[in-house]
Each structure stands twice: as structure tokens, then as C-alpha cells.
Amino acid sequence: MSLDRLVEEIIREAMARGEFDDLPGKGKPLNLDDYFALPEDERVALKLLRDAGFVPEEVQLLKDINELKKALAAAAEDTEKARLKKALDEKTLAFNLVMDRRRARKNPRSG
């Protein structure tokens, strides 16, 4: 049995057991516009990074910002709140700078 057929058989068996029934976005169309708007070399790099467990810098910054917001809301002491607020401001600034750089690369101004 060829490798392709073996893989197809494993997938069919998993489908029959319902292992794909609860996947996020099930039944919704995929929006691949942003993906195909990237140059091919960037798409390949993005896939390699994603497959290796890495996320884009802006995604990690958004996760960090969300965690800091939750910690700030739960903080009781003023010194802890001040420390968290400063860290939140720094992450927000870093996120805004990353997004500004991304927009500048996407829409370079003609001189």
C-alpha cells in the first residue's frame, strides 16, 4: 500500500470515528484572502514558522496584552497595579510599532 493510500485510509477512519466533528470553524468557509495576498516566499516562511509552533510578533504581543489586562483587573495592590499598567503600556506601544512597520512595508510611500 502506498503512503498516500495509507494516509487517506487513516483520515477516513478518523472521520468515521468523528474525530474531526468539533474542529473550530467547522461549516464556515475559510478566508484565505490575507494568506494569498502575501508574496509566495512569505507564505512559505509563515507556514514553516506556524508548523514549528511560532506565532507572528504581533500575535504574541496581543496575547501578552490580554494577559496583562486580566492581571491588572485582578491586582489588589497599588504597586502591583502600577507595575502591570507600565508593562501593559510598553506592550501596547510595541504592538503599535510593529503594526506601523507592517503598514509602512505594505504601502510604501512614493518619494
- Asked, for residue 83, whether it belongs to a domain, the answer is yes
Query: In whole angstroms, what is the distance from residue 46 CA to residue 63 CA?
Result: 18
Contacts with 63 (C-beta within 8 Å, 6 or more apart), sequence order: 55
Sorting pLDDT into bands at 50, 70 and 90, what band is 90? very high
61 lies in some domain: yes
**pTM (two decimals):** 0.56
pLDDT, tens digit, 9 for 90 and up, residues 41-53: 888 888 888 889 8
Domain of residue 90 covers 55-111
Instruction: Examine residue 8 and state whether it is found in any structural domain, yes or no.
Output: no
Residues with Cβ within 8 Å of 9's Cβ and at least 6 positions away in sequence, in order, are 1
Quick one: pLDDT at residue 28?
84
67, part of any domain:
yes
- How many folded domains does the chain comprise? 1
CA angle 13, 17, 19 (to 5 degrees): 95
